[in-house]
């Protein structure tokens, strides 16, 4: 099937810096895109989503950007904190698939104090 | 508020033994329920999902099965475990028409020896 992938498996940043996690997708029919955060030994936690008719959405310290032309999604975390250290998954949903997300492999974000 | 429980948290089972993992959701009615498996350093693989009592959809053919005996209870089973069944098993729920926004349980770490 079609896949969701991530450019970088590991991202290391200094505390206070901004982090950008990228994701490429291939299913042009996908209409919801989601970012999840998974801390070590825990289940993933929903962070933010964006619909395909938008190109930007902001949350608390996080911003998701969607570029449908190049099928690219990114998660920006402002003023990264040690508590942001986790694996971040992007996921896409296809309305033909009952909106069940297809998850990418994940990017490990390491925040150095 | 809604909560999702999974047990046990960890499990070590010999090859060929049976398996039963339980998941329950509180604080919501008629949830969609999901079972995922996560191999080390990998993304989430959808195993089963359910939109109602007794309604189970299987995504990956294997020696696992799922049942939903009650509205907020989801069980993952196997009659005979294989070494390849080792992994981190996650249960999740979503509201009926927003499957892209999933809420995950704490997971069960299964090691088959």
Which pLDDT score, from 0 to 100, does residue B30 have? 93
Contact B44 A44 (CB under 8 A): yes
Phi and psi angles of residue A82, each rounded to the nearest 5 degrees, phi first: -55, -35
Which pLDDT tens digit goes with each residue over A96-107?
Answer: 777 788 888 899
Which pLDDT score, from 0 to 100, does residue A7 have? 44
Contact A2, A104 (CB under 8 A): no
- β-strand A107-112 against B10-13: which pairing, if any? unpaired
Residues of chain B neighbouring A34 (CB-CB closer than 8 A): 100-101
Between A16 and A1, the more confident residue is: A16
A33: closest CA of chain B, how far (Å): 8
In chain B, the residue whose alpha carbon lies closest to the alpha carbon of A98 is B99
Q: Say if residue B104 is preceded by a cis peptide, omega within 30 of 0.
A: no
């Amino acid at each position: 099937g079609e896949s969701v992938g991530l450019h970088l498996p590991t991202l290391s940043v200094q505390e206070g810096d901004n982090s950008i996690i990228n994701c490429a997708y291939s299913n042009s029919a996908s209409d919801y895109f989601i970012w999840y955060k998974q801390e070590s030994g825990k289940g993933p936690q929903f962070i933010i989503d964006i619909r395909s008719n938008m190109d930007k959405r902001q949350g608390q310290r996080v911003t998701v950007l969607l570029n449908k032309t190049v099928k690219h999604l990114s998660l920006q975390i402002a003023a990264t904190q040690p508590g942001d250290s986790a694996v971040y998954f992007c996921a896409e949903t296809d309305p033909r698939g009952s909106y069940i997300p297809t998850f990418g492999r994940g990017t490990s974000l390491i925040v150095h104090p | 508020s809604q909560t999702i429980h999974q047990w046990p948290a960890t499990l070590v089972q010999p090859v060929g033994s049976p398996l039963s993992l339980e998941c329950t959701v509180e604080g919501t009615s008629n949830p969609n329920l999901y079972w995922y498996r996560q191999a080390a350093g990998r993304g989430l693989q959808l195993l089963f999902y359910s939109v109602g009592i007794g309604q189970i959809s299987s995504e990956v053919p294997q020696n696992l099965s799922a049942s939903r005996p009650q509205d907020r209870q989801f069980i993952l089973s196997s009659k005979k475990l294989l070494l390849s069944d080792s992994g981190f098993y996650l249960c999740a729920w979503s509201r009926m028409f927003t499957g892209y926004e999933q809420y995950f349980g704490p997971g069960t770490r299964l090691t088959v020896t």
